[in-house]
Amino acid sequence: MSKICILGSGSMGTALAHLIGGNGYKVVVWGIDKEASEHINVHHENKSEHINVHHENKKFLPGVSLSKNVSANLILPLTLVDASVVMVALPAQVVGQVLPALHNHLVDNAVILSVSKGIDVKSGQTVSQIIKSVLPETRHKNIAALMGPLFASEISTQVPSVGLLTVSDVKVFKFLQKILVNKHFFVRYSDDLIGAELGGALKNIYAILLGVCDGLGYGWNTKSALITAVVKEMAVVGQFLGGKKETFYGLAGMGDLLTTGFGEKSRNRRFGEKLCSGKSVRKAIKEIGHVVEGAATVKAVIKSLGAFKKRAPLLTAVNDMVSKQKNPCAVLQKLFSVI
């Protein structure tokens, strides 16, 4: 039976740990948050004293009693011992700091599966590109990504969900499919690793724009027009950055965009909404209390598009609000004349 290591004790890492643990696999979660780790490990039942404390990640995924196969460890090398799959569920901006520690502790043929959505601001790389820059080329065929419309809270409560599992080797896909899939969770195959990751990163940026629509009180006429323009621009930009255009019309592009742009649980959408109430970028992020990937990613994408001859007015609009603190109402009003 395979052992799975998950790097990241946030909501997504914990939800996937619960999913995989429920499928019968041993899962060990690593993270730097001591409180989250301790809560994941708590598991005590004493009926005579009417105590029933199930282990759960109270900080990031409250109310979900985790599978008995899930544990946590604060020491990275111990977490990696005998792990046939290492799942990366870290914020994109810290992946480059953690990944170098993996190299000497991975077992032969270990699969690296990224579920992180974002682009590193400093390097402009996707998570799989960061992983490839750290690990030797002999391991590259075992690097995969799971993208798509996947809210952690819904995965953990068995809401039927479908993700896009991208990897170059079909054998690796089938191996991961056995670990992930059950009657509530399904995956589809793609070999467009970069495209899928770009879809997962770009949709966070565009979700901010859709949140601004909500914050300004605009209705479905506005949001429908905007999302039509978003899907078109995302496909063009994604193709320019190295993905296949068709990927952005599927689960990892439009599918993920709909979830993140309209879902009440979306941090990026709520961030855009908060910007309309006069709050600064820093204060809006602080109030949300979690990483808002789109706010960081937009800077990296704009930089990567420096030589792009076609305009990307929607991305520019978000960058104007996030990086230049421009008024959301004025930015969106100007946008209506060009989309």
Helix, strand, or coil here: 310? coil
Two structure tokens written together for 104 = 């000497």
Q: What is the DSSP letter of 141?
A: G
- C-alpha closest to that of 109 among 131, 82, 134: 82
Which H or E run includes 319? Answer: helix 313-322
Phi, psi of 139 (to 5 degrees): -95, -5
- Amino acid letter at 158? Q
286 is catalytic: no
- 3, 26, 122, 203: the active-site residue: 203
d(CA 177, CA 38): 30
CB contact at 8 A, 197 and 128:
yes
> What is the Cβ-side half-sphere exposure of residue 247, based on CA atoms within 13 angstroms?
30
Q: What is the DSSP letter of 255?
A: I
b/e code 96-127 from CB counts within 10 Å (16+ = b): bebbeebeebbeeebbbbbbbbbbbbeeebbb
Two structure tokens written together for 121 = 């601001």
- C-alpha closest to that of 2 among 107, 104, 77, 75: 107
Two structure tokens written together for 82 = 């005998």
d(CA 53, CA 70): 15
CB contact at 8 A, 159 and 183:
no
d(CA 129, CA 267): 25
- Residues recognised as catalytic: 203
